[in-house]
């Protein structure tokens, strides 16, 4: 397993890679890095694949454009197309977790010739809704339910990233703790923020690292986000309404490639994204499996690496 920089048509990207064979891309989410896929990169290399996990645009060792307009879903998919080409390939299988899952689903939608199969972890495909952009709808739903404000709505603010940069280690520790399967129910995030609070103030100050996260692994995250900041990662959220405007041409389009979905039983994201889980096959008719991992939280590939690897490798073996 090695980390190296690779120049593509769009960015200089930092990638974690190992193995030779058919290409499999692993796309991370927030607030993670390519290193979140170490267990998968190792297992897939041993199984005869070329496994590659990039730091995504705005993260880690990859370029971080300043303009929020440079973080649209079209840019993010374009980065993956450019990476496949820079690796000398014309096809691959794409796997995404958290924010990486929407990128993976859209890779499949936009370039079915290149991305021959897709797997999403934690976030199911959420089709474009014709009624209008998503953030006003999110705010209205939360207001009607009396649940406060969805953190995604708070993340639209121009200074939303600064709460994480006051104390990077505390911000990351709270984020991992609030969405982990080992965290008690009463301390799991709901995704909704009461008036006068923010994403981090709703998490207990005594939050600990998840049991799967070593101090050394955590320090890699702290170092990367201390250096690179959180503006680029939060710009992904600030692009939600722009993504809606840019993807009208995808309205009602189905994902026709073989697909797989995995989610943790106790993943808080299911409260506000998992509602589309049951209807996933309507949008991905070749869905080969939809698995709920008992007791698992949000950080699926790190919490349950053996189970995730087994399900993903079986999915790929079925393709072959």
Q: Fill in the DSSP letter of residue 55.
A: P
| Phi, psi (degrees; rounded to nearest 5) at 4 | -150, 160
- Residue ranges of domains in the chain: 2-130+249-319, 134-236
Confidence band, pLDDT 50/70/90 cuts, at residue 66: very high
pTM of the predicted model, to two decimals?
0.97
Asked whether the beta carbons of 73 and 246 are under 8 A apart, the reply is yes
pLDDT of 276 higher than 70 = no
Q: Give the pLDDT score at 275.
A: 57
pLDDT of 160 higher than 80 = yes
C-alpha to C-alpha distance for 115 and 108, rounded to whole angstroms: 6
Confidence band, pLDDT 50/70/90 cuts, at residue 277: confident
Confidence band, pLDDT 50/70/90 cuts, at residue 306: very high
Q: Give the pLDDT score at 312.
A: 98
Over residues 257-267, the mean pLDDT reads: 97
Over residues 225-236, the mean pLDDT reads: 98
Over residues 189-205, the mean pLDDT reads: 93
Over residues 278-286, the mean pLDDT reads: 93
Asked whether the beta carbons of 45 and 30 are under 8 A apart, the reply is no
Confidence band, pLDDT 50/70/90 cuts, at residue 261: very high
Q: Give the pLDDT score at 146.
A: 81
Q: DSSP assignment of 225-293, as one string?
A: HHHH-SHHHHHHHHTHHHHHHHTGGGTT----S-EEEEEETT-GGGGTTGGGSTTHHHH-TTEEEEEEE
Taking the CA of residue 223 as centre, how many other CA atoms within 13 Å lie in the half-sphere pointing to its CB?
8
C-alpha to C-alpha distance for 172 and 239, rounded to whole angstroms: 22
Tokens of 143: 């207001």
Q: Give the pLDDT score at 143.
A: 84
Tell which CATH classification among 3.40.50.1820, 3.30.365.10, 3.40.718.10, 3.30.930.10 matches the domain 2-130+249-319.
3.40.50.1820
Question: Would you please indicate which residues are annotated as catalytic (active-site) residues?
Answer: 98, 298
Q: Give the pLDDT score at 274.
A: 57
Over residues 71-85, the mean pLDDT reads: 98
Q: Kindly state the percentage of the chain with pLDDT values over 90.
A: 91
> 5 CB contacts (<8 Å, ≥6 apart)?
12, 13, 14, 15, 61
Q: DSSP assignment of 88-137, as one string?
A: T-S-EEEEEETTHHHHHHHHHHH-TTTEEEEEEESS---PPPTTS-HHHH
Confidence band, pLDDT 50/70/90 cuts, at residue 235: very high
User: For the chain, what is the mean pLDDT?
Assistant: 95
């Amino acid at each position: 397993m090695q980390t190296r920089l690779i120049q593509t048509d769009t960015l200089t990207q930092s990638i974690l890679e190992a193995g030779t064979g058919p290409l499999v891309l692993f796309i991370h989410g927030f607030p993670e890095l390519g290193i979140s896929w170490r267990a998968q990169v190792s297992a897939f290399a041993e199984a005869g694949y070329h496994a590659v996990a990039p730091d995504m645009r705005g993260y880690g060792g990859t370029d971080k454009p300043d303009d929020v307009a440079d973080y649209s879903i079209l840019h993010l998919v374009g980065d993956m197309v450019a990476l496949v080409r820079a690796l000398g390939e014309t096809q691959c299988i794409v796997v995404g977790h958290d924010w990486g899952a929407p990128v993976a689903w859209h890779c499949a939608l936009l370039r079915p010739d290149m991305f021959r199969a897709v797997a999403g972890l934690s976030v199911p495909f959420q089709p474009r809704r014709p009624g209008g952009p998503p953030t006003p709808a999110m705010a209205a739903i939360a207001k009607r339910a009396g649940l406060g404000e969805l953190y995604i709505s708070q993340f639209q603010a121009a200074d939303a990233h600064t709460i994480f940069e006051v104390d990077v280690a505390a911000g990351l520790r709270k984020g991992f703790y609030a969405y982990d399967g080992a965290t008690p129910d009463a301390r799991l995030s709901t995704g909704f923020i009461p008036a006068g609070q923010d994403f981090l103030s709703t998490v207990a100050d005594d939050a600990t690292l998840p049991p799967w996260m070593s101090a050394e692994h955590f320090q890699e995250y702290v170092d990367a986000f201390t250096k690179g900041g959180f503006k680029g990662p939060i710009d992904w959220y600030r692009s939600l309404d722009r993504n809606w405007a840019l993807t009208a041409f995808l309205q009602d389009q189905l994902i026709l490639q073989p697909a797989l979905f995995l989610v943790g039983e106790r993943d808080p994201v299911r409260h506000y994204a998992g509602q589309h889980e049951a209807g996933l096959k309507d949008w991905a008719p070749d869905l080969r499996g939809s698995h709920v991992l008992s007791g698992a939280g949000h950080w699926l590939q790190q919490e349950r690496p053996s189970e995730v690897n087994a399900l993903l490798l079986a999915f790929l073996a079925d393709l072959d």
